[in-house]
A and B are shown apart, each in its own frame.
Chain A
Amino acid sequence: MLLQEDKLKMYFTMLLIRRFEERAEELYMAGKIWGTFHLYIGEEAVATGACFALRPEDYITSTHRGHGHCIAKGADVKKMMAELMGKATGYCYGLGGSMHIADLEGGNLGATGIVGSAIPIAVGAALACKLQKNNRVVLCFFGDGAANTGAFHEAVNMAAVFKLPVVFLCENNLYAMSFPVQKAFAIPDIAERAKGYGIPGITVDGMDVLAVYEATKEAVELARSGFGPTLVEARTYRFRGHSKSDKGVYRTKEEVHMWMERCPIKRFRAHLLAEGVPEATLKDLEKKAEDLIEEAVRFAAESPEPDLEKARGMVYA
């Protein structure tokens, strides 16, 4: 059972993700962050609920839409913001940027720009956990789009037959860029695929942080007890475009609006209030999240640029 204290932590994590991304978006508009990045706004309940089902020593693998995973796994938002601004103090020395954030010490084995490519890597990490008998679990995030890569099929099957301690968490936000799941799949639920691999599969409401937590918790426990992988599908929605160059021609304003009404943060806030948490407590957390992100922006802005010679030294170990 979750204590109220844990729920407040979850709420704070969701706020931190939302605020981080809103600020990052502003910085992008102001030219302080460049290239492209993928906002997780709207999907906060998935990363938060799932990562809260882990122990600190467990691992995750992430995706191109990875800020939320990184924060939920406990990363330092200062180092994350610095990475987005390409600074030497960032998680990847300013060499990786948004799409390649990794926090190895915190158990985040990294985001990736190649859709689906982290799924086999998660399986490898789970294999190491098994060989090292460390009793740890790997939580592998990937999108609905990634579920249609060859890498997904090979990796999930291998994990299933080797009974590896990995949880496959599919963030089904109904689109892969412009391509809707109705066109990409001939089945209604991605979790149905689990049957073909001989593992359990479950579909949950990804806008409900507690539902994601419960489902992932069960899957993590199965994995830890040697039962092997589970496929968890969390139905969610991204409120922003796919990336910063998306003109949004493939979905209607009404649809986006309908999903925004189901905002996971608003919903969880209402739940907490109904449970008797005083509004002032929530407001304090909201203020605290804002302050932390402002501090992160300040830290990143004041940080030094990376050095080419040092970067050169990072090509080989």
Chain B
Amino acid sequence: MPEREITYAEAIREALREEMRKDPSVFLIGEDIGVYGGAFGVTQGLLEEFGAERVIDTPISETAIVGAAIGAALLGMRPVAEIMFFDFMTLCADQIVNQAAKIRFMFGGKAKVSIVFRSPAGSGTGAAGHHSGSLESWFAQIPGLRVVAPATPYDAKGLLKSAIRDDNPVIFMEHKLLYRVKGPVPEEEYTIPLGVGEVKRKGKDLTIVAYSITVRRSLEAAELLAREGIEAEVVDIRTLRPLDEEIILSSVRKTNRALVVYEPPRFGSFGAEIAALIAEKAFDYLDAPVMRLGGLEMPPPYNPNLERRIAPQVEDIVKASWELLQS
């Protein structure tokens, strides 16, 4: 029997539905997640199944959404808060960074803040400077937070289930351009542990390290490179924090060349952390300096031709791979 295929958005919805059925302490809170079904339709149908007590539409009050999730979590609930666009994380950054991430530690290891913050990120939809951000690196830098960024429907479902069951605040970054992408997702129950990456394609000539949308683009690039006889290995880290260091290092030890591909601006983003890790722990295996391919140093522009150029595309990854192979 052929494996069932569903979209990334449907996979996320399934994870929410299954966890809500299983655990009455799980509830959803956010803007327009009820009748509207979320800005990207992810929560469609959940209000009908679980009612307005567990699928809570709120006023436009990001700070209160996140603060309320934290308060509820302190009393043992497991909220999943939806922040409509990742850019709006800045509005509730106090609650996430100063409260959710630190409370447990500051209270002497006593509290549990089990919350998932789901939010769509990324450029490529023509939504310009306030609706196209990729701010995951900011949060990956905060001890106390976990940051998850799935690239496939399968990973999205398995990781979200783990995130909901996790006893810590988890930033769950969804990429807008992935919502409609289909992929195999089994009907049976499964989870994917946080902090475990996956080699999405095996190869021997270079390692491409990516997460979220850039995994998909790297796989396409690897396909093009294969036609020219180059075997690129694509490592999907899947979670930024905790980071599966070993999967990156063992790949680089084998291929001896590393290209790190990420959407946010090249300067100071999470890709730089990966590059540092490789330089620090696999230096002796490298035949060339680690190469970073990040976004351009500018806010997301509206014009689609410019917008396309700020984030690494398939052709950019192919080009960078050739440069890396020749250096």
Contact = CB atoms under 8 A, between A and B. Distances in A.
Interface of A: 34-36, 86-87, 92, 94-97, 99-100, 112-116, 145-146, 148-150, 176-179, 183-184, 245, 249-250, 305-306, 308, 311-312, 314-315
Given A114-B88, A305-B303, A34 B131 contact: no
Given A94-B302, A116-B60, A34 B126 contact: yes
B61 A100 contact: no
Contacts of B34: 178
A176 B59 contact: yes
A114 B297 CA distance: 21
B306 A95 contact: yes
Contacts of B61: 148-150
Contacts of A35: 125-128, 302
Contact of B299 (A86, A148, A176, A315): A315
B36 A177 contact: yes
Contact of B128 (A113, A177, A184): A113
A311 B131 CA distance: 19
B88 to A, nearest CB: 7
Contact of B297 (A86, A113, A184, A315): A315
B120 to A, nearest CB: 13
B128 A249 contact: no
Contacts of A149: 60-62, 91
B60 A148 contact: yes
B10 interface: no
A249 B299 contact: no
Interface string B139-162: 000000000000000000000000
Contacts of B62: 149
Given A150-B61, A177-B36, A305 B305 contact: yes
Contacts of A150: 61, 63-64, 91
Contacts of A100: 128-130, 302
B301 A99 contact: no
B87 A114 contact: yes
A113 B130 contact: yes
B132 to A, nearest CB: 9
Given A114-B87, A114-B91, A306 B306 contact: yes
Given A150-B63, A311-B301, 17 more contacts: A34-B126, A35-B128, A36-B127, A86-B304, A95-B128, A95-B303, A97-B302, A99-B127, A100-B128, A114-B88, A145-B59, A148-B59, A177-B36, A178-B57, A179-B31, A306-B306, A315-B299
Contacts, number: 110
A80 B64 CA distance: 36
B35 interface: yes
A249 B35 contact: yes
Given A177-B36, A250-B35, A96 B59 contact: no
B153 to A, nearest CB: 21
Interface of B: 31-32, 34-36, 39, 57-64, 87-88, 91, 125-131, 296-299, 301-306, 309
Contacts of A112: 130
A114 B126 CA distance: 16
A35 B299 CA distance: 16
A86 B305 CA distance: 9
Given A35-B126, A148-B59, A249 B305 contact: no
Contacts of A184: 59
Nearest to B85: A113
A308 B60 contact: no
Nearest to A99: B128
A112 B305 CA distance: 22
Nearest to B299: A315
Contacts of B32: 177-179
A118 to B, nearest CB: 11
Contacts of B91: 114, 149-150
B60 A86 contact: no
Contacts of B130: 99-100, 112-114
Contact of A183 (B36, B57, B298, B302): B57
A145 B60 contact: yes
Contacts of B36: 177-178, 249-250
Contacts of B64: 150
A94 B300 CA distance: 11
A75 B127 CA distance: 22
A308 B308 CA distance: 11
Nearest to B126: A35
A96 B64 CA distance: 29
Contacts of A116: 60
Given A36-B126, A100-B129, A250-B35, A95 B59 contact: no
A100 B130 CA distance: 9
A95 B296 CA distance: 14
Contact of B298 (A87, A92, A305, A311): A311
